Amino acid sequence: MIFQTSMRYGYLLTGIFSGMIMMGYAQEERRDERSATIDSIDVVRDYRPILADAVKIRRSPDMSNKRQYQPKLAYQILDRKLDINTGTKQLAIQEMPFTRTQTLTNNYVKIGAGNLGTILGEVHLSSDYYVDTRLGGYVKHLSQQGTYEEQKFSSQQVGVFGRTILGPVTLDGEIGFNRYGTRFYGVVGDVDGTNLNLNPAKQAFNDIYFTGELTSNYDEQATDAFSYSLKADAYSYSNAYDTKESAVALSGYVNKQLNVFNVGANISGDFTSVKDASYDLGNNIARINPYIRFQGSNYNITLGANFVSEFGDSSRTNIFPSAEIDFALIPQFAHIFGGINGDVNKTSVKELTKENPWLGALGNTNYIRNSVDRMQVFGGIKGNAGATFGYKVKAFYRRIEGMPFYAVTPGTPYAFQLVYEDGENASTIIGLEGELNVRVSEVVTIGGKLNFNEYDLQREEEAWYMPKMRLAANARFNISDKLYIDGELLFQGQTYGLVRDPNVDLSEYSMTELGSTGARKTTIPSFADLSAGAEYRVTDQIGVYMRLNNMLGTHYERYLFYPRLGLNVIGGVNFSF
């Protein structure tokens, strides 16, 4: 069986080889039969493909069935809507943590001395470490002595202040103490040449005060904003002669914006008590001023009324008009404004003695009463040209009752008493005011204010010690980053004083008799007071300064018998940190 199978495989192989030989023979005969041409190809040897060593794979493939590890991938696709609005909108600013780029110098110490026994010292401390909070305090001292007998002055100030922003409101306040000391050094003689002020008495004013205010912060995004403010003021004021004045004042306002309208009211209450050895007065004033305001891009119109009630030792109620308009004739360059109003002006010992510290003791002939602005009409133009030029011109007409003036006290001519302008009709004042501020360049800045007043009084001969013309101007020169120079000019036109004591010698003054009462009007000449100062920064922290006051050296008089200090020079060092 095996033999037969082997024979079959043998026959099969023999047949296959025989067929291959026959096919090769047939092909050889065909080649021989084809004639050679120019395109003929002679085969030298058979083609054998050979790979270069560089492309040979010398590693046997791994044929085992292995499945590589495939990690599970997770994708978080953000579902964000593409904002392609064509309109503009406010950019959201990313708040950054507060960092200081440099150390601020809000604190300084200043010391100085000069002629006329001048001693100056100041310390000011302030902390701005927190963006929304500021705390600080100060101490000041100045003392001088003139060439006249007991012509002495001294001033001390101590205060602590603070300010903080609490979300929608801002809270700020200050508490302090001020003292001003002088003497009744008036140079007065009688007609026989005898000195009427042999022993100039001391005078000192002590003022303890407090002020605080809570104000809503402005929200520019609110079209119907509601704003408000509440303020409290209090002080206790006294002098060396047991005159005391205490006052507490509360005031505030509310305002509601309704499209182009603003509706609101100003409300205040002032409660004042004045006491002297023989004088006691309660002087209280309450006000309410409701208004409605129409506001546009180029105009502002306010209409309202002012209700004022006085109560205490005497009672009186007044209603005054209150209206104002502001129109942009040329926006940012020229605004026309005007208005009409009225009010009760509080007469206080504190304000009177700041103006004239030689006011005598109060009593039946020297008492306190308020003046009343029956009507005040005003108008003018104001504007600016960028940050380098600003101006304001204002004219006004006032009808006023009970204006207080100063007059020399009979028997003690070195002290003053109050006289009031009384009459059946109100007195009038016509005035013109002008203000100008110019920055000529980065080096020079100039500013000033000019006032003209014309008085038409019903009873008094003149507006005693009230000038008809007054000019106050200032200039500053930044010579370099280290050197600064500034100057001030005060000019006041001639004024008039009232003397009711016929024994007082007025031979050195221009004088006019006023009837048969023995009262005389004296002319106080005009004067100019020129001052200048310079400061040089030696380093960023240390500077030296010098100041010259009353450079013209004139012993002018603001009030009769009280000449001012002549030329005085102050120099010293300041240190900032």
For 236-279, the pLDDT digits (tens) are 999 998 899 999 999 999 999 888 889 999 999 999 999 998 89
Does the pLDDT of residue 351 top 50, yes or no? yes
Name which residue leads in pLDDT, 485 or 25: 485
The total number of structural domains in the chain stands at: 1
The stretch 371-399 carries a mean pLDDT of 94
pLDDT at 21: 43
Beta bridge partners of 179: 156, 206
pLDDT at 100: 47
% of the chain at pLDDT higher than 90: 67
Q: Please count the helices (runs of H) and the strands (runs of E) in the chain.
A: 2, 29
Query: Is residue 13 in some structural domain?
Result: no
Local confidence band at 516 (pLDDT 50, 70, 90 cut-offs): low
What six digits make up the tokens of 104? 């601020």
The stretch 285-306 carries a mean pLDDT of 95
The three-class DSSP label of residue 350 is: helix
For 404-423, the pLDDT digits (tens) are 999 998 889 999 999 999 87
Q: What is the mean pLDDT of the chain?
A: 86
Does the pLDDT of residue 511 top 50, yes or no? yes
Query: Is residue 274 in some structural domain?
Result: yes
Amino acid of residue 304: G
For 60-75, the pLDDT digits (tens) are 555 545 444 455 555 4
Local confidence band at 105 (pLDDT 50, 70, 90 cut-offs): low
Local confidence band at 357 (pLDDT 50, 70, 90 cut-offs): very high
What CATH number does residue 472 fall under?
2.40.170.20
Query: Is residue 173 in some structural domain?
Result: yes
Beta bridge partners of 257: 262
Pairing state between β 371-384 and 389-401: antiparallel
pLDDT at 81: 45
Strand intervals (E) in 351-468: 371-384, 389-401, 404-409, 412-420, 427-439, 444-456
The stretch 310-331 carries a mean pLDDT of 95
The stretch 137-144 carries a mean pLDDT of 97
Query: Is residue 560 in some structural domain?
Result: yes
For 523-536, the pLDDT digits (tens) are 999 999 999 999 99
The three-class DSSP label of residue 564 is: coil
Does the pLDDT of residue 52 top 80, yes or no? no
Q: Nearest to residue 490, comparing CAs of 478, 514, 474?
A: 474
pLDDT at 365: 84
The residue range of the domain holding 371 is 108-576
Strand intervals (E) in 128-278: 133-145, 152-166, 169-183, 202-216, 226-239, 244-258, 261-276
pLDDT at 183: 97
What six digits make up the tokens of 263? 């509706």
For 548-573, the pLDDT digits (tens) are 999 999 999 999 999 999 999 999 99
What six digits make up the tokens of 124? 């000011």
Pairing state between β 444-456 and 404-409: unpaired
The stretch 491-497 carries a mean pLDDT of 97
Name which residue leads in pLDDT, 66 or 514: 514
pLDDT at 114: 97
What six digits make up the tokens of 429? 């004042």
Query: Is residue 480 in some structural domain?
Result: yes
Neighbouring C-beta atoms of residue 60, cutoff 10 Å? 6
Query: Is residue 277 in some structural domain?
Result: yes
